[in-house]
Structure 1
Amino acid sequence: MLHLRLIVPADRTDEVVAAIEKTVGTTHLVVVPGAARDPVGDLVLCDVAREAGDELISGLRALGLDRDGSIAVEDIGLSLSERANQAEEDAPGEGADAVLWEQLQDATHEESTLSVTYVAFLTLATMIAACGVVLDNAILVVGAMAVGPEFGPLAGVCTALVQRRPRLAGRSLVALLVGFAAAMGLTVLFSLGMNATGLFTEDMLHGDRPNTGFVYAPDWFSFVVGLLAGAAGTLSLTSAKSGALVGVAISVTTVPAAANAAVALAYGDLGQTRGSVEQLLLNLLAIVLAGTLTLLAQKFFWARQRRRGPVKA
């Protein structure tokens, strides 16, 4: 269930209440006239089944409530109410299958914004991965994958393509390109510093690396894994199962490939640099392709489900 807290201009309260009452899967409607002070208006509260949330939020935005009032949405962890149970039964489809597009756009907007924190996380992940590939240490590589924040901008690109939001697409691409460029550039400097102290050597990079040699040798398996990870990551975002993102992060070789490219570039090994960049681009392409197709499929099947659902009297 979702909880909606709305600030509504007084002259639009009746319209908002009517929109809530006609939406299948709503309950616990509360109206407090004149309670809001900034902006001035009435306070309207209600609960709605997750599978009906996108329809209701879209209707409220069509009434201009996001512009002249406020729409706040919270997940309800526990609701002990027969009315809430009935609302979920009445709403078409399953809550786990529902996509809250406004929530997804808001989340990807935040995660795909180029910021100091984003670049710092990506840089630290790339440096950890650099240590992993030089030492041929799979544990360090997996840890670096988990730290990397690059799935946020990738999800932003997918969402922007499906929702036709060019500004979100541009912001996400800037975060990806600038973020990886900065992380790789700083990792080159990091590698040179580690080489100067004797902690990195060229022999380590060119030696036998059974655990990490794959990061500069792209193949069809890399593309297939990228596709699967992109689909899984997108599903984890849209179904609010964010814990699955950790598994997604450690299944693709974006950060390790960027790290290997940076270390190889520091030693002037253009062959490994080129192979690593190809691996990076291949994974990014596969994730975006799979994520976009997953969102399109969800949008199509959910639209069919809603058309088959019951209509509230």
Structure 2
Amino acid sequence: MSDAIQVPGVKVSSKSMPAVGLGLWKITQDSAAQAVYEAIKVGYRHLDSAADYGNEQQVGEGIARAIAEGLCSREELWITTKLWNTYHRAEHVEAACRRSMDDLGLDYIDLYLVHFPIALRYVDFNDRYPAEWIFDHSAEDPAMELDQVPLSETWGAMEQLVESGLVRQIGVCNYSAVLLHDLMSYARIKPAMLQIESHPYLTQEALLRTARSYNMAVTAFSPLGSLSYVELNMAGANDTVLTDPSVLAAAQRNGVTAAQVVLRWGIQRGTAVIPKTSNPQRLIENLTLTEFTLNDEEMDAISALNQNHRFNDPAQFCEAAFNTFHSIYD
């Protein structure tokens, strides 16, 4: 416990969430348990999961091992997971939450998020889990099938999770400012978190200001930009921010890596960050962000790299991968 790296916190309602977490998207089932165990061992206390990632059972194994060996207690961990698109109807929300809890081996979730503002036709757990995006893979033209579920219905069921004690905090992912305004007009239990793609090529300053005007914390996924998307053919090798001269200059002045500079930029602008890695050295590097500070000139230069370049855009990947055009951003 004493050797664990200490990380700053981000205020989420009345709680403090570690500002650096381990993103679990695209960590394979074979490596997830060990990756989580090693992350907790070096000091991670914030894990960002989702039913759709398909590795929650293995993540739970890593958590259980770490707790059993005394590396941490359950109360010291912050576990985020997410409601998948196929479970938006009110009658399916609690069952989806409980399935994640069972797979993770937890009796409560710290933060439960609506993964996308996209409602898809229900797929039973026994038919396919994770349900993924396509409704029927055996169809002649497999595609997404949308379900007509108001976001307000889904949110009402999310609120019931808090009231029943299954979940401590609730929030949303991939919402626009307009959807946040709408949500705040009917939410009895206000969203505590907005999770969005954000990095120097997609700073989303107006959306961050909107969230903060509602006292919502913000978590940036894909905080290093294109790295998560090259292998999915959703980004090119030249799309990386890590070779930009302003990032490299800041890295040289501070004696750190380019990735550490970009993650530090995210923390200094007030967001939590959830980089993904299973590399032991990268685990430590991504967590070690408090030993240096970017100056105002460095912060401004990195923010100026904004291109409004979104890598994770349903308008692009849904049509390319799932035969369905579905845009949620203007």
TM range (shorter): under 0.3
**Rg: which structure is higher?**
1
TM-score (normalizing by structure 2)? 0.26
More helix by share: 1
TM-score (normalizing by structure 1)? 0.27
